[in-house]
Structure 1
Amino acid sequence: MKNKLLTIAALAVAFAGCQSQEKKKEENKDKADVIATTDSQQVNLPAPYATKSVKKFSKIIGWPNGKKPVAPAGFTVQMYATNLKSPRNIYIGPNGDIFISEANTEAKGVKKVANEVSGKSQSGYDGPSANRITILRDANHDGKPELQKIFLSGLKEPYGMLVLNNYFYVANTDGIWRYPYKTGQTAITEKGQKILDLPAGGYNNHWTRKIIASTDGSKIYVSVGSGSNDGEHGKDNEKRRADILQINPDGSGEKIYASGLRNPAGIAFAPDHKTLWAAVNERDELGDNLVPDYLTSVKEGGFYGWPYAYFGQHEDPNHKGENPEMVKKTITPDVALGPHTASLGLTFYTKNAFPAKYHNGAFVGQHGSWNRSVFSGYKVVFVPFDNGKPGKIEDFLTGFIADESKNEVYGRPVAVEEMPDGSLLVADDGASKIWRVSASK
């Protein structure tokens, strides 16, 4: 009886959401028309609600024997690590040790039932989060780690990792911790210290917190995703969210480095070590082709639109007239990565093992869509750079979609990380694997 009531409640929530969406679409129809005939045409964006908002969740079926992702000619793909539990992020330590944060969204009660009814539960690991960090070590550099063990456990949805000043930093969803660390150790043995509180959780998978250090190690940058899709829960719910924060290594001196970034899940410095870049997930429920996720350079003090505007100064119809000054301040991002692609991972290629076209370019892991009638993402893309300027996006690692007619995918790529030997690691949290892409010899 209890399960039946939960199912009914979940269906009621889903039905109410559909009604709300249709009502919103009708209310904003005239606004969408106005936007469609002005600014959006300048960047070739469709009108909001040009198509209805669709939920199409993927179903992960895993990789059959002999099957693996597909890289361009001249590259080799191999399975690097398995026996993991939803590997979300990768960090390479100063001695080449590889750290994998394993965590996932935990749905409970009515929300869990709703996920089962909608099919969302099949698009990712739906059980208890591992909440741990695993260490991998390939001492003889043969592409097969000899060591794989739990490095640190008992965490709270960990994602970002960083070694700085003899500390190992961990970005949990609710705060930054640091632990005494010596290069080469294979487990954290000493007690940690929480140096910064953060707003926990967030919309969908916006619980991730990426951390990176400035080149001189004097600052740490922290990405924090929004607590809602489009600001629908009010401003108080979004304090210190949809931002990149900057702190000192001890957690003091916090300031908002940049804002209006709905979910800047991937952040990295360009090879010049000066320019900060971010891969950003944009909002849902404006139609199949809105809004494009993007890759952008991030200016200190810059505002990137959320929730008032999107992809430059295109006013969000759900916030019409609310804050025209902030719309005018919105910075247009550098590269559109496609709508609903869930672009999460970001790394720049600074080695020489890959062909010259890849040098200094950016790799972006696209986890894949759920709010689009046709799948987008589910691949790793590459953005070439020339003298610090991005070029045209192209596919790099594909083959994750098994049979779209059945909504089936083999896995879902997320984090990407450059290895010291110039190969590329890709975390596939859907299939709980790490893939290695290397230039063929």
Structure 2
Amino acid sequence: MKRLLLCSAVALGLATAGPAAAQTNLERLGQFRTTGVTEFEVIEQGGQNAEAIRRILERIDLPQGFKIDLYAVVPDARHIAVGPQGVVTFVGTRKTDVWAVTDRNKDRVADEVKRFAPSLDLMIPNGPCFSRDGFLFIAEQNRVLMYPAAEFFYESPDVVAVPIVPQGELIPVEEESFNHTARVCRIGPDDKLYISLGQPFNVSPPEKMELYDRTGIGGIIRMNRDGTDREVFSYGVRNSVGMDFNPNNGELWFTDNQVDGMGDLIPPGELNRQTEMGQHFGFPWYGGGGTRTNEYKGTEPPADLVFPVVEMDAHAADLGMTFYTGRQFPAMYRGGVFVAQHGSWNRTDPIGARVMFTAVNDDGSVGETKVFADGWLDEETGEYLGRPVDVAQLQDGSILVSDDLVGAIYRISYER
């Protein structure tokens, strides 16, 4: 459970602060000035809640030699950014918090989970990502903040923060929505910042097409790390909540969640491979894979569409993904892709709530896709006992899996 450590005066100030106060704090932090916040919200790591989560993990099926453990209790845990120094891991949420997770004694279990940058008001800070030289970026609903030394400053309530995309400028304010606004980001091999911008509709209407193509909504944008030279990199993407770059050749790969309401078995979810800038991945003409949408069935799709390299099970909700570059797992996993499936919400027979693995060959082609970890869905009752969101790799070659239903981070390791 949560343990609130904010003193009453500070808590009252944060509770009543509006946008102007939040902007004042952001400006103060940019000038290396204190904000007056002195304490953190800290999450208890033991007790009955942790024990209940560990009992759930006894149900999880993994290939022989692998095991899964509770790494940290993290409320609403979504996307994961592991610090390049191995000091702290940052976990985003679809609410207002980012959590700093620290394993101080390196026993591969978190010792401390506390709120990151408590003096700032954040809105859907789902997507944290790191540059190789240690700059943390967090993509919010309609803003991107850069934290130049997060692994150093996270121990203090006051953290240097720079708005590289100011509030209201990631997408037009009139396009803000409660739907499909969980952003993800990555720093590419070109040292540019890539951000996914899900469009808010099940199937976007024609009158939105020009605006969305121009701003990158329903696609993936990229920009310099200081926010300049923004451009649309990917088109025809319904709602991508996971991306990574193939370490062998630098190509962008991403998952995409496809159209609802077409039936239990269509359209498929997608794992996509992008080989050059400006490619179009089919939405809204295609609802997923080769399945045409009813709304655009009578219109001609753009030429040279790129179809997914893997068609996943329909409505399994493929979210976060990562290429495996570690040495701990057997050789067959190296260079392949782990994908977290959140699980279906509108399917007669639920599916998903698992981690998938796709083998990737040296030339970028794919091998077999198979279930790697499952058991979070009780197939007899249809009850979700967890809902995986993201996959990230620790420096020792084990992987972390986030779960926003239970509110936890799991660690999967391999014993030779």
Distance (Å, rounded) in 2 between the aligned partners of 1:366 and 1:215? 26
In the other structure, the counterpart of 1:306 is 283
In the other structure, the counterpart of 1:146 is 111
- Other structure's SS at 1:97 match: coil
Identity among equivalent positions (%) equals: 30
In the other structure, the counterpart of 1:263 is 239
Q: Could you tell me the TM-score, scaled by structure 2's length?
A: 0.78
Q: Is the 8 A contact 2:91 2:100 kept in 1?
A: no
Give the superposition deviation at 1:354: 0.4
In the other structure, the counterpart of 1:198 is 170
Distance (Å, rounded) in 1 between the aligned partners of 2:150 and 2:284? 42
Describe the shift of the 1:148–1:311 C-alpha distance in structure 2 as closer, same or farther (beyond 3 A).
closer
- Other structure's SS at 1:392 match: strand
In the other structure, the counterpart of 1:289 is 265
1:425 aligns with 2:362: no
Question: Per-residue displacement from partner, 1:51-87 (whole Å, max 9, x unpaired)?
Answer: xxxxxxxxxxx956533032211111100101x2201
Give the superposition deviation at 1:317: 2.0
2:123 to 131, 139, 156: 156
Distance (Å, rounded) in 2 between the aligned partners of 1:65 and 1:90? 20
- Other structure's SS at 1:391 match: strand
2:70 to 79, 92, 96: 79
What are the residue-to-residue correspondences of 1:84-99 with 2, within 5 Å? 84-99=74-89
Greater Cα shift, 92-101 or 310-319: 310-319
1:252 to 223, 228, 233: 228
Give the superposition deviation at 1:440: 1.9
Question: Per-residue displacement from partner, 1:194-221 (whole Å, max 9, x unpaired)?
Answer: 222223787775111111112242x111
In the other structure, the counterpart of 2:187 is 213
Q: Is the 8 A contact 1:264 1:281 kept in 2?
A: yes
In structure 1, what residue type is equivalent to 2:332? K
Greater Cα shift, 250-259 or 187-196: 187-196
Describe the shift of the 1:313–1:402 C-alpha distance in structure 2 as closer, same or farther (beyond 3 A).
closer
- Other structure's SS at 1:87 match: coil
Give the superposition deviation at 1:378: 0.9
Give the superposition deviation at 1:417: 0.4
Give the superposition deviation at 1:102: 4.0
Give the superposition deviation at 1:284: 0.8
Distance (Å, rounded) in 2 between the aligned partners of 1:168 and 1:428? 22
1:231 to 204, 215, 218: 204
1:337 to 302, 305, 312: 312
- Other structure's SS at 1:66 match: helix
- Other structure's SS at 1:261 match: coil
Give the superposition deviation at 1:140: 3.2
Q: Is the 8 A contact 2:88 2:102 kept in 1?
A: yes
Question: Per-residue displacement from partner, 1:38-63 (whole Å, max 9, x unpaired)?
Answer: xxxxxxxxxxxxxxxxxxxxxxxx95
Q: What is the CA RMSD across the aligned residues, in angstroms?
A: 2.3
Count how many residue pairs are aligned between Structure 1 and Structure 2. Answer: 350
Describe the shift of the 1:63–1:297 C-alpha distance in structure 2 as closer, same or farther (beyond 3 A).
farther
Question: Which segments of 5 or more consecutive residues in structure 1 lack a partner in the other structure?
Answer: 1-61, 105-128
1:351 aligns with 2:319: no
Q: Post-superposition, which runs of at least 4 consecutive aligned residues in structure 1 deviate over 6 A?
A: 200-204
Describe the shift of the 1:103–1:417 C-alpha distance in structure 2 as closer, same or farther (beyond 3 A).
same
Give the superposition deviation at 1:281: 0.7
- Other structure's SS at 1:396 match: strand
1:101 to 91, 106, 115: 91
Question: Which segments of 5 or more consecutive residues in structure 2 lack a partner in the other structure?
Answer: 1-50
Q: Could you tell me the TM-score, scaled by structure 1's length?
A: 0.74
Distance (Å, rounded) in 1 between the aligned partners of 2:387 and 2:301? 39
Q: Is the 8 A contact 2:53 2:70 kept in 1?
A: no
1:67 to 56, 70, 91: 56
In the other structure, the counterpart of 1:120 is none
Distance (Å, rounded) in 2 between the aligned partners of 1:242 and 1:351? 32
1:137 aligns with 2:102: yes
Give the superposition deviation at 1:178: 1.5
Distance (Å, rounded) in 1 between the aligned partners of 2:88 and 2:287? 36
In the other structure, the counterpart of 2:37 is none
Distance (Å, rounded) in 1 between the aligned partners of 2:232 and 2:194? 10
In the other structure, the counterpart of 1:38 is none
- Other structure's SS at 2:295 match: helix
Higher relative contact order (CA 8 A, sep 6+): 1
In the other structure, the counterpart of 1:37 is none
Q: Is the 8 A contact 1:411 1:431 kept in 2?
A: yes
Question: Per-residue displacement from partner, 1:109-152 (whole Å, max 9, x unpaired)?
Answer: xxxxxxxxxxxxxxxxxxxx3x1221122243211123322222
Question: Per-residue displacement from partner, 1:258-278 (whole Å, max 9, x unpaired)?
Answer: 110111111100121511100
Describe the shift of the 1:76–1:228 C-alpha distance in structure 2 as closer, same or farther (beyond 3 A).
same
In the other structure, the counterpart of 1:318 is 295
Greater Cα shift, 329-338 or 187-196: 187-196
Distance (Å, rounded) in 2 between the aligned partners of 1:312 and 1:286? 13
Distance (Å, rounded) in 2 between the aligned partners of 1:265 and 1:182? 23
In the other structure, the counterpart of 2:365 is 389
In structure 1, what residue type is equivalent to 2:129? L
- Other structure's SS at 1:256 match: strand
Q: Is the 8 A contact 1:99 1:133 kept in 2?
A: no
In structure 1, what residue type is equivalent to 2:93? A
Give the superposition deviation at 1:168: 2.6
Distance (Å, rounded) in 2 between the aligned partners of 1:65 and 1:78? 7
